[in-house]
Amino acid sequence: MQENRQEIIKEICQIIEEKKGENIEVFNLKETDYFVDFVVIATALIDRHSLALLEELKKQLKVKGESFFHIDEENPDWIVIDLGDIIIHLFTENQRKKFNLEEFLQKILQKKEGR
């Protein structure tokens, strides 16, 4: 199961990269008490670009059997995609800087490591 999820993570990153998403980061939170195993964060060029990334992810991942449990696309500057054990955040650059989710996730990882 773990190997399969790593493959899906690679695929997610590849899809985003091919469609010109930037600064892709993956957080493996499997060994923490966070509510999902993996978080993928990427930057879209503009809000319409994040919607295009979302559509491409749906198109390519659904045929592979991925379930999209919830998609929050109310604000295209920050789209959240819930695949169950994987959460994908698609931000525009300003929103990504504003919320700095990476810092929060880094703290969770540091807590796990006992720092």
Confidence of residue 115 (pLDDT cuts 50, 70, 90): low
Mean pLDDT of 58-65: 96
Confidence of residue 94 (pLDDT cuts 50, 70, 90): very high
Tell me 20's DSSP state: T
Q: Is residue 1's pLDDT more than 60?
A: no
Paired tokens of 19: 């469609």
- Cα 2 to Cα 5, 9, 59, 66, distances in angstroms: 5, 11, 23, 15
